[in-house]
Amino acid sequence: MTQPVVDVRNLRYQYPDGTVALDGVDFQLYPGETVALLGPNGSGKTTFVLHLNGLFQGEGEILVCGMPVTKPNLTAIRAKVGMVFQDSDEQLFLPTVLEDVAFGPRNQGLTPAAAIARARAALQQTGMEHVAAKAPYHLSAGEKRRVALAGVLAMSPEILVLDEPTTFLDPPAERGLVQCLTSLPQAKILVTHDIPFARALATRAVFFEKGKVVAAGSVEEVVRSHDWEI
């Protein structure tokens, strides 16, 4: 049987102030799947995805491509899991967009020229090549999201994790993102409140509530079972 690329068993996480954000999450992502993570504000979705590349370490077991997410494996895990954070300000830090997007591939050991070529290709994929010379902190919110996505694509990860990727995107940019993601072969986790976006891309959905996965099925089934639409 095909092995999952992400396999999470009984994950629990408590913030230092005592908030139990994850209360026994089981989750599997298989090659080629796109899974939407739905659920109310504060249900633990972001906390969950931040575990997948070891930014948070809760109790339980997480395997990424068969490797436990533990300190010695973090470099390898982070090469496999490309993550676009809910707050993309945390992701952009170099003087120009191009350098920023090239940072990941450079860090993976590519030559400067190869890293820049990857960065240009990734910026093109997200429709952001025209801002290559700009300072990341001068970008609009939607532009920052798309550049952050380019930064992740430039590293050719095996798994893409996008936390609220459509926030701040205008309708053409959202359509562009759907097209871009459809064309990418990676397994994907999309954390989203945007049901049309989930419908357009996800092969499956799970619903988080109070730190647990309380429903799973097709996007339609999950949306209907939780009356989860505006």
The answer to whether 88 contacts Mg ion (rule: CB under 5 A) is no
Q: Is 186 exposed, middle or buried (0-12, 13-18, 19+ CB in 10 A)?
A: buried
Smallest separation (angstroms) from ligand ATP to the CB of 126: 22
Stretch of 23-31, 40-48, 53-61, 116-124 contacting ligand ATP, by CB under 6 A: 40-48
- Alpha carbons within 13 angstroms on the beta-carbon side of residue 114 total 9
Among 10, 19, 124, 225, binds ligand ATP (CB under 6 A): 19
- Please state, as a whole number, how many other Cβ atoms lie within 10 Å of the Cβ of residue 7: 18
Among 27, 29, 46, 132, binds ligand ATP (CB under 6 A): 46
Asked if residue 82 lies in contact with residue 152, where contact means CB atoms within 8 angstroms, the answer is yes
Sign of CA dihedral 44, 46, 49, 55: negative
Smallest separation (angstroms) from ligand ATP to the CB of 200: 20
Of ligand ATP, Mg ion, none, which one does residue 140 interact with (CB within 5 to 8 Å by kind)? none
Among 43, 46, 53, 126, binds Mg ion (CB under 5 A): 46
Among 43, 91, 126, 186, binds ligand ATP (CB under 6 A): 43
String of contacts with ligand ATP for each residue 190-209, x by CB under 6 A? ------------------x-
Q: Name, in order, each residue with C-beta under 8 angstroms of 171's C-beta and a sequence gap of 6 or more.
A: none
Q: How far apart are CA 143 and CA 126, in angstroms?
A: 10
- Please state, as a whole number, how many other Cβ atoms lie within 10 Å of the Cβ of residue 28: 15
Q: How far apart are CA 19 and CA 163, in angstroms?
A: 21
Among 1, 2, 41, 90, binds ligand ATP (CB under 6 A): 41
**Which residues contact Mg ion by CB under 5 A?**
46, 86
**Which residues contact ligand ATP by CB under 6 A?**
15, 17, 19, 21, 39, 41-47, 86, 208
